[in-house]
Amino acid sequence: MDSNWRQLIEKETAVMAYLYVANIIGWQKRLGWKVRIVRLVEQLRALQSVREVKAYYGTNERALKQSEAFNRDVMEAGAILRTKPVKFICKTVDLGMFFKKMTLNQLDLGTTTLMKSVVESVQSSGTVIEEPKCNFDVEMTMDLMDDAERASGFMLFSGDSDFYAPLERLKLKGKRIYVVGARGTVSRELFRIADTFIDIGKLYQRKDPQ
């Protein structure tokens, strides 16, 4: 239950908040409205018990001015920014890009043939496919552990099951865990470890129609 999340947060001696910005942006499709990161930081900073807000987001050197402007706005709103360059990984277009071998073996011949023709069409077009990559799992985990003795409560804005282990370690130290996310995007592991799950739609206050 997250209906009384604000009262629970305000009862904490000190709270640290960790925003995995790429995850939050990814929630928007499910939500149907935008989460403005700067506004979110401001709202968290307005909570008396929140001591620090840390935001993790890559710097896109292919759109450097916009990226630097975003980073600056986030810091001016009161967040500690952790950033590093976004890497662009070239992807090889083949059937393995879409399906695991085990899955392909379960498809009938007609479907497999159709998929092969699509892949061959993309290959012959000379299209180059690049995917951005900029994970912050290690940096966030290190910060969670470094901050273990600095707060009584920890707010994680992510649904990634990889954070189960560091959160479990914090819980063993007697810390309370608040997982913030959009329903349907948070792993079962994080639901289990959280003392309180907070729906982003109940935490984030929209001031104007999205």
Mark whether 103 and 198 lie in a shared domain.
no
- Tell me the per-residue pLDDT of 90-108, one tens digit each, with 9 for 90 and over: 877 777 767 777 777 777 8
Task: Report d(CA 92, CA 130) in Å as an integer.
Answer: 9
Q: What is the mean pLDDT of residues 10-16?
A: 96
- Tell me the per-residue pLDDT of 26-46, one tens digit each, with 9 for 90 and over: 999 899 999 999 999 999 999
Mark whether 106 and 66 lie in a shared domain.
no
Task: Report d(CA 53, CA 31) in Å as an integer.
Answer: 23
Mark whether 126 and 140 lie in a shared domain.
no
Residue 209 lies in a domain: no
Residue 126 lies in a domain: yes
Task: Report d(CA 43, CA 34) in Å as an integer.
Answer: 15
For residue 209, pLDDT over 50 is answered with no
Q: What is the mean pLDDT of residues 39-66?
A: 96
Mark whether 173 and 104 lie in a shared domain.
no
Mark whether 105 and 159 lie in a shared domain.
no
Residue 210 lies in a domain: no
The CA R_g of the chain, rounded to the nearest whole Å, is 20
Mark whether 75 and 141 lie in a shared domain.
yes
Q: Which domain holds residue 125?
A: 89-131
Which tokens go with 22?
């790429």
Residue 101 to residues 94, 107, 112, 144, 150, Cα–Cα distance (Å): 11, 10, 11, 37, 47
Amino acid making up residue 194:
A
Q: What is the mean pLDDT of residues 177-203?
A: 94
Mark whether 170 and 79 lie in a shared domain.
yes
**Whether the Cβ atoms of residue 159 and residue 20 lie closer than 8 Å to each other:** no
Residue 208 lies in a domain: no
Picking from 69, 99, 131, the residue at the C-terminal end of a domain is: 131
- Report the domain count for the chain: 2
What's the 3-state SS for 106-156? CCCHHHHHHHHHHHHHHHHHCCCEEEEECCCHHHHHHHHHHCCCCCCEEEE
Residue 40 lies in a domain: yes
Q: Which letter does DSSP use for residue 59 in this model?
A: B
Task: Report d(CA 169, CA 175) in Å as an integer.
Answer: 9
Count how many Cα atoms sit within 13 Å of the Cα of residue 102 in the half-sphere of its side chain: 0
pTM of the model as a whole: 0.84
CATH number at residue 48: 3.40.50.1010
Beta-bridged to residue 87, according to DSSP, are 133
Residue 15: name the closest of 123, 206, 153 by CA.
153
Beta-bridged to residue 176, according to DSSP, are 153
Q: What is the mean pLDDT of residues 47-64?
A: 96
- Tell me the per-residue pLDDT of 123-173, one tens digit each, with 9 for 90 and over: 788 777 888 899 999 999 999 999 999 999 999 999 999 999 999 999 999
